Structure formats: structure tokens, C-alpha cells
Amino acid sequence: MITVVGQCVAAFVFGTSVGVLVQRSRWCNTAALRDAMLFKSYRNTKALLVAMMILTLGFTALISVGNGNPMRFDVGINQFIGLFLFGIGMVFAGACTVSSWVKTGEGNIGALWALLFLIVGLFLSSLVWSFSYWPPAGQTMTGHPNLAGLQFGWADALTLQRATGVPALFFGIIQFLGLLFIYRRILHRERATAEGMNPTPAAASVPAADRLTAPPAPSVARLEPQTNTRSPL
Amino acid sequence: MDFFKKSLDPIVALAIIAVLDIFLFQIVGAWTVGGGETMIAGLFVRALIGAKALNRIPFWHLVFKPTWAYWKIYISLGMGFGALVSAILSKEFYWRVPKHLSEWIMITIGGLLMGVGIRLSFVCNVSTFLGLTPEMNLGGYLAVSGLVIGAWVGSWVYKRVLEA
């Protein structure tokens, strides 16, 4: 059993590693969604999908053998509405929770400003939390479905494994294949875009692997997708 | 060091992070940022208004009692620290300040919406994509749906604002 200090040290070491890797790679979750939607540019989206594939196999494998620490998490409509607001906010701010910390570390005052107002928004909305009414009421979050409170209880790979007797890894492999399908569709779309941009025989002779690394042209002239250069925030 | 002279492929970076996250999942729990930020908000406000006043607010009394012994805080602080060290070593640290009032307004509204969203859902974008969904939690699928639709709406508005 790890001590509280051990937990905090492990978290700090992990966070520091993430900070270095994200700073060097310029990965951004906001860009993973925004650039795919606005520019059909998938540099960050592909990285997100690869991480999700690895994590799905890793987490469900650990759950299958009774290890890991899955979140005991009450599912509810509040997750949909909350992340809907969050999605709008992260595009407006030009940074998600990860990139706002990483960009703050690089000296970006706009990112620090976004973090400060994230804290303000968090605190102001905490004032309307109640134990007895939505959103989301403490007394309805019991781990069991409570439709009147728009809560569906606790449902994940672990509960699925307990209910069916089938190892969580089996379900993880199905999810992995679904994510792999999306990843391959993106590669296919990138290949089609690259071929559309280079219809000449000379361009067509470029190896497919090289063509995949070429960024597609932005569809909106005044906006550019995030590549290796920093966005304003 | 060569590592700090060139940029890293994000697929490689996220693959390494995912492997590290599996170890973190085994030790204490999956990578999340919203929980740490909620606790930081509580500690920040407690420093401003005092513990007695904060205790009168049910959320901070019943759900998130502010404490420095909460491991998720240190993921956030570590990310900022790691990025600072990396930016200095790669000579990429410099002060960047948004130039236009419209940028400040967008960032302010964006920050507020992110804060409200985290509080309402008890989850952030990281725990949505890289925590709940890989754990196959139904909340992860709901959150991903909300986040993708929200990002689409946000992108549509953002595009209109920048083109205006």
C-alpha cells in the first residue's frame, strides 16, 4: 500500500514527464478536436487515438487480473452537459487542461489567465451545488441508477466483468479495434487528401509513408492548424 | 542534449505518456487534471477567504475538503514544472502576452466555461479521453460525446469570430 506522500511523489514525477513530453511534442487536446473539425488536420488526433488504444488494452488487462485503480464514478447526464460546456470553453481559450499548464510553464500569460478563470468558474459553480437537488445531487450519486436524478450508476469494464464473468480485456479488445478502425479511416483520408493535392506523376511516385507526413492544406485561409509552431495560446 | 533541440512526434510522446499512465493507474489511479484543479481552486479560495467561510459552502465541506495531501494536485503542478524545465532547456521560454482585447475576452469566457464544465461533470478532457473511456466507463462515452459536440460548436463560433 502506497503512502500519501508516495502517491504525491508518483503523481509529480508523472506530471513532470507529461510536461516535458507535451512541451517537446506540441501535443494539444484542443487542437486534436479543433484542427480535425476546422482544417481536416489530424496530427494531434492520431496521437490521442494511439494513447487511447494503448490505455484501453493496459487498463482492461490490469482490471482483468484484479489490479489497477479504476475510478468509482457515477455516470450521469451531467457528464454530457459539463463536457459540452468544457468543449466550447477549450476552443475559445485555445487550450485544454493539459496545454494550459504546459503553456503557462513556457511563459504564456494567456494560458495562466485561462487557468485563473477556470478556477473562478469552478468556484462560482460550486456555490450552486446541493446535496438534495440537481446538478448533480449528492444523494442521487450512490453508484446505482437513479433516473429521477439523471444518474445511471457505476458502469465500466470492471462492473461489466463482474456482471458477465467475461474478463474486462475481452471488452477492451473490442474497444481497441473500434479505435483502430477510426485511426485507419484517418490515415485513409490523409492519403486521399495528399493524392488530391499532388496529382502529378512525380508527386504520385513519392512513397506512401512520406505522403502521409505531409500536412494537408488548411480549408480556411485565415486560420491555420497547429503544426510545429506555437499558436497564440 | 539532442532531445531538447528538436521537436518530438506527438504519437511517440502520447504513446510514452500512455505507458507511464498504465503504471500510475496501477499505483494510484489514471491521469486526470480536473480533480487536481478543483482542489487547487479550493485551496486558492481558502487562502483568500479563510477556512471558516469556505466550510459554510456545502461543496467544499462535503465533497472536496481542501487539502494539500491530494495526489492529483501534483500532476498539474508537475506538468507546469516539467514544461518550464523543458522550455528553458530547449530555449523556448519567453513571455507571451495576448495582444488583442478580443483574445483576452475569448480566453476569459473559455476559462470560465471550462471551470463550470469540470465542476458540473466531475471530469475534465484528460480523464474523459485517457481515463474514463479506456476504463470503458459509460460516463466516458457520454463525456466524449458532449466534448466533441461542444468543440464543434466552439469551433464554429471561433471561426465566425475570427473571420468577422
Give me the sheet containing A145-146, strands edge to edge. A75-76, A151-153, A145-146
Residue B30: closest CA among A168, A8, A71 = A71
Mutant choice from A30, A86, A175, A233 vs B, greatest count of B C-beta within 10 A: A86
Could you give the CA distance from residue A86 to residue B163 in angstroms, rounded to a whole number?
A: 23
What residues of chain B lie within 8 A of the CB of A15, using their CB? 74-79, 81-82
User: What is the average per-residue pLDDT within A104-118?
Assistant: 96
Write out the three cell numbers for B63: 465533497
Residue B137: closest CA among A91, A173, A35, A72 = A72
Give the residue, A213 or B135, on which the prediction is more confident: B135
Strand partners, A146: A151
The pTM of the full predicted model, rounded to 2 decimals, is 0.88
Q: Tell me, what's the pLDDT at A229?
A: 42
Q: Do B148 and A127 touch (CB under 8 A)?
A: no
Q: Do B58 and A58 touch (CB under 8 A)?
A: no
Residue B138: closest CA among A142, A87, A57, A80 = A80
User: What is the average per-residue pLDDT within A43-48?
Assistant: 96
Q: Which chain A residue lies closest to B84 (C-alpha atoms)?
A: A105
Could you give the CA distance from residue B145 to residue A216 in angstroms, rounded to a whole number?
A: 26
pLDDT band at A201 (very low <50, low <70, confident <90, very high): low
* Element spanning A153, H or E: strand A151-153
Residue written as grid cell 473500434: A178
Whether the per-residue pLDDT at A218 is higher than 60: the answer is no
Q: Do B116 and A124 touch (CB under 8 A)?
A: yes
Interface confidence (ipTM) of the complex: 0.95
| Nearest CB neighbour to A73, from listed B17, B132, B145 | B132
Q: Do B33 and A101 touch (CB under 8 A)?
A: yes
Query: What torsion do the CA atoms of A64, A65, A71, A74 make, to the nearest 10 degrees?
Result: 50
Give the residue, B71 or B164, on which the prediction is more confident: B71
What residues of chain A lie within 8 A of the CB of B15, using their CB? 47, 50-51, 54
Q: Tell me, what's the pLDDT at A231?
A: 41
Q: Tell me, what's the pLDDT at A199?
A: 64
Q: Tell me, what's the pLDDT at A129?
A: 86
Q: Which chain B residue lies closest to A21 (C-alpha atoms)?
A: B13
Q: Which chain A residue lies closest to B104 (C-alpha atoms)?
A: A110
Q: What is the mean pLDDT of chain B?
A: 93
Helices (H), chain B: 10-27, 34-49, 51-55, 58, 71-89, 101-121, 125-127, 138-163
| pLDDT 10s digits, A58-105 | 999 999 999 999 988 889 899 999 999 999 999 999 988 999 999 999
Query: 3-state class of A194 per DSSP?
Result: helix
State the first-to-last Cα distance of chain A, in angstroms, to the nearest integer: 41
The Cα of A203 is separated from the nearest Cα of chain B by a number of Å equal to 24
Q: Tell me, what's the pLDDT at A37?
A: 86
Q: Which residues, other chains included, contact A17 with Cβ-Cβ below 8 Å and sequence gap of 6+? A: B16, B17, B20, B78, B82
Q: Tell me, what's the pLDDT at A72?
A: 84
A138 to each of A102, B72, B107, how far by Cα in Å?
33, 22, 31
Q: Tell me, what's the pLDDT at A42?
A: 93
pLDDT band at A225 (very low <50, low <70, confident <90, very high): low
What residues of chain A lie within 8 A of the CB of B99, using their CB? 232
Whether the per-residue pLDDT at A221 is higher than 60: the answer is no
| pLDDT 10s digits, B15-33 | 999 999 999 999 999 999 9
| pLDDT 10s digits, A145-172 | 888 788 888 889 999 999 999 999 999 9
Per mean pLDDT, which range of A67-71, A118-122, A223-227, B36-40 is the poorest? A223-227
Q: Which chain A residue lies closest to B118 (C-alpha atoms)?
A: A82
Strand partners, A152: A145
The Cα of A168 is separated from the nearest Cα of chain B by a number of Å equal to 9
